[in-house]
């Protein structure tokens, strides 16, 4: 088996990349690979993972740490699971080591620009974490595969009716049928929280006032909205509960699961999504999803079930020249109203749960392990070939 350097994030307080790192690297270790993770956002917490973790604070430290590992540990392969701008930086710098490079990356929205495509073509193998991303890559000539990110459906389990009732009372003090709408998303431009709050405001005015809007976010990001001000301006402050993932102790898995377990509907108004992990979490816990028709969200809802929000308009963003899809307020309201009025909600919950149950971690772990074995074998054959005279 191979010596693997895996570069990504490992934030115990919530991160999509951390979720992927833990799932994939655990799977690789169980398949016999020796894995060392160079991890952004890891703070040295104790862990019982079957792989080593080396904390790094910035790209310069990754470059230095990898350089040391190359000469001391002699890895067989480098796997980088990060956004394409990071791939651009690392793939060129690491070429000097002549070690196979595997890229794992998202595409939040279409199209994949040619400059980014040219970067990814330098990787020995490229995975996108959605079928949407892989299809866009193939359009511009990359032989990319979809790395089907797994869901731990035992951890992200559906609560019993009695358990759900108890959680609603203990967490929110709700003992009746008050409708709970949940959003889990960072307070940044792409997540488009202003659209979510506008939909909630319309829901209050036109559907019912007997609801709570629960928002799990990183509230005080410098690039984010003033959320409490916006809730006040939209007259939903008295119905909004904000949980800040940036608090000192973070939000534990048990707390986050409980918020899903208490919810009647999950709302996500992102302008683009490379993986849409909160959508998968909601589906796994049995919460019907209303979310923007964009990126990975579309394939989750089309295959698992839910309500897609039609975009009102699309604009070209400076980030990778990608399109951004702005959730339609009217369409979002219609989705919430369908869930509130219980229109085929039980059937949607069942089909969504079946969908996430099919996404086991064995699938992407096998995909990545097989790719590692293949590129390492190819590298060995190349190195064993005699030089031409």
pLDDT tens-digit map of 22-60:
999 999 999 999 999 999 878 777 788 999 999 999 999
Residue 172 has pLDDT above 70, yes or no: yes
Query: Can you give the pLDDT at residue 387?
Result: 62
Give DSSP secondary structure letters for 274-298. Answer: SS-HHHHHHHHHT--EEEESSHHHH
Helix (H, G, I), strand (E, B) or coil at 241: strand
Is a pLDDT exceeding 60 seen at residue 127? yes
CA 75 to chain centre: 28
pLDDT value, residue 248? 63
Q: From CA 232, how far away is CA 230, in angstroms rounded?
A: 5
Task: State residue 44's pLDDT score.
Answer: 73
* Rounded mean pLDDT, 83-110: 96
Q: Which H/E stretch holds residue 93?
A: helix 84-93
pTM, 2 dp = 0.94
Instruction: Residue 133: name the closest of 159, 158, 104, 154 by CA.
Output: 104
Q: Is 306's pLDDT higher than 50?
A: yes
Instruction: Please choose, from the candidates 134, 88, 76, the residue with its C-alpha nearest in 3D space to the C-alpha of residue 107.
Output: 134
Distance CA(261)–CA(159), nearest Å, equals 6
Rounded mean pLDDT, 235-248: 89
Q: Categorize the per-residue pLDDT at 386 as very low, low, confident or very high, splitting at 50, 70 and 90.
A: confident
Look at residue 118 and give its three-state secondary structure: helix
Of the listed ranges 9-18, 207-216, 315-324, the least confidently predicted one is 9-18
Share of the chain above pLDDT 70, in %: 98
Output the six-digit token pair for 46: 């104790």
Pairing outcome for strands 311-316 and 323-327: antiparallel
Confidence of residue 389 (pLDDT cuts 50, 70, 90): very low
pLDDT at 352 over 80: yes
Cβ atoms 175, 168 nearer than 8 A: yes
Q: What are the structural domains of the chain?
A: 3-150+360-384 (3.40.50.2000), 161-357 (3.40.50.2000)
> Which residues neighbour 268 within 8 Å (Cβ) at sequence distance 6 or greater?
183, 184, 185, 191, 196, 276, 278, 279, 289, 290, 291, 292, 297
* CA nearest to 214, candidates 281, 258, 259, 176: 259
pLDDT tens, 263-294?
A: 999 999 999 999 999 999 999 999 999 999 99
């Amino acid at each position: 088996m191979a010596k693997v350097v895996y570069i990504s994030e490992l934030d115990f307080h919530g991160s999509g990349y951390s979720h992927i790192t833990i799932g994939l690297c655990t799977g690789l270790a169980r398949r016999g690979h020796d894995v060392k993770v160079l991890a952004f956002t890891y703070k040295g917490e104790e862990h019982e993972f079957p792989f080593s973790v080396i904390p790094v604070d910035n790209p310069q430290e990754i470059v230095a740490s990898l350089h040391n590992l190359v000469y001391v540990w002699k890895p067989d392969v480098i796997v980088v699971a990060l956004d394409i701008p990071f791939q651009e930086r690392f793939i060129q710098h690491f070429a000097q080591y002549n070690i196979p490079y595997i890229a794992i990356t998202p595409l939040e929205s279409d199209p994949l620009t040619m400059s980014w495509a040219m970067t990814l073509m330098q990787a020995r193998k490229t995975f996108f974490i959605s079928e949407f991303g892989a299809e866009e890559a193939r359009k511009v000539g990359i032989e990319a595969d979809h790395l089907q990110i797994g869901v731990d459906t035992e951890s992200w389990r559906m609560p019993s009716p009695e358990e759900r009732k108890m959680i609603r009372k203990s967490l929110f003090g709700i003992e009746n049928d008050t409708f709970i709408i949940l959003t889990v998303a960072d307070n940044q431009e792409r997540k488009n929280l202003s659209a979510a709050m506008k939909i909630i405001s319309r829901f209050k005015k036109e559907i019912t006032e007997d609801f709570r809007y629960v928002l799990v976010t990183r509230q005080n990001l410098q690039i984010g909205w003033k959320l409490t001000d916006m809730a006040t301006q939209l007259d939903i402050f008295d119905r909004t509960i904000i949980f800040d993932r940036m608090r000192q102790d973070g939000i534990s898995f048990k707390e986050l699961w409980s918020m899903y377990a208490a919810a009647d509907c999950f709302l996500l108004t992102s302008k683009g999504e490379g993986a849409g992990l909160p959508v998968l979490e909601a589906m796994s816990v049995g919460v019907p999803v209303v979310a923007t028709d964009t990126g990975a969200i579309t394939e989750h809802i089309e295959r698992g079930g839910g309500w897609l929000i039609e975009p009102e308009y699309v604009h070209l963003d400076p980030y990778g020249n990608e399109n951004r899809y702005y959730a339609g307020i009217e369409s979002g309201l219609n989705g919430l109203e369908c869930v509130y009025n219980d229109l085929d909600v039980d059937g949607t919950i069942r089909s969504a749960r079946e969908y996430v149950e099919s996404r086991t971690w064995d699938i992407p772990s096998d995909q990545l392990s097989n790719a590692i074995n293949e590129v390492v074998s190819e590298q060995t054959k190349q190195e064993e070939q005699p030089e031409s005279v």
